[in-house]
């Protein structure tokens, strides 16, 4: 499966983009395939691993200074075949 994850943190003490960078670092270190985009990050992998990662991303944002998070998750999953980031992006890659 793959998801699109958008995290919009609010903080009185830390800049939004710094917290977004913290979230992306957690995704980067997860070992899952991902692609950062301007508004969200696409992540590919098994359901349980991705959902655990979504939880870790939120936890890190709070630990790093977020007071509130808006988290948006879009999921694509298939019954009998793998969903990949490449199949959606291949015609746009130069």
| CATH code (residue 84) | 3.30.70.930
Residue 3's pLDDT band (cuts 50, 70, 90): very high
| 69, β-bridge pairs | 9
Domain count, the chain: 1
Question: Mapping DSSP to helix (H, G, I), strand (E, B) and coil, where does residue 34 land?
Answer: strand
Over the stretch 15-63, which tens digit does the pLDDT of each residue have? 999 999 999 999 999 999 999 999 999 999 999 999 999 999 999 999 9
The parent domain of residue 41 ranges over 2-92
Q: Which residues neighbour 67 within 8 Å (Cβ) at sequence distance 6 or greater?
A: 10, 11, 12
């Amino acid at each position: 499966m793959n998801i699109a994850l958008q995290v919009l943190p609010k903080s009185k003490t830390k800049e939004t983009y710094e917290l977004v960078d913290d979230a992306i670092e957690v995704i980067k270190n997860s070992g899952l395939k991902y692609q950062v985009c301007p508004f969200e990050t696409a992540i590919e992998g098994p359901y349980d691993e991705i959902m655990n990662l979504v939880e870790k991303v939120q936890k890190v944002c709070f630990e790093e200074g977020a007071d509130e998070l808006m988290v948006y998750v879009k999921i694509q999953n298939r019954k009998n075949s793998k969903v990949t980031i490449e199949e959606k992006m291949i015609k746009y890659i130069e």
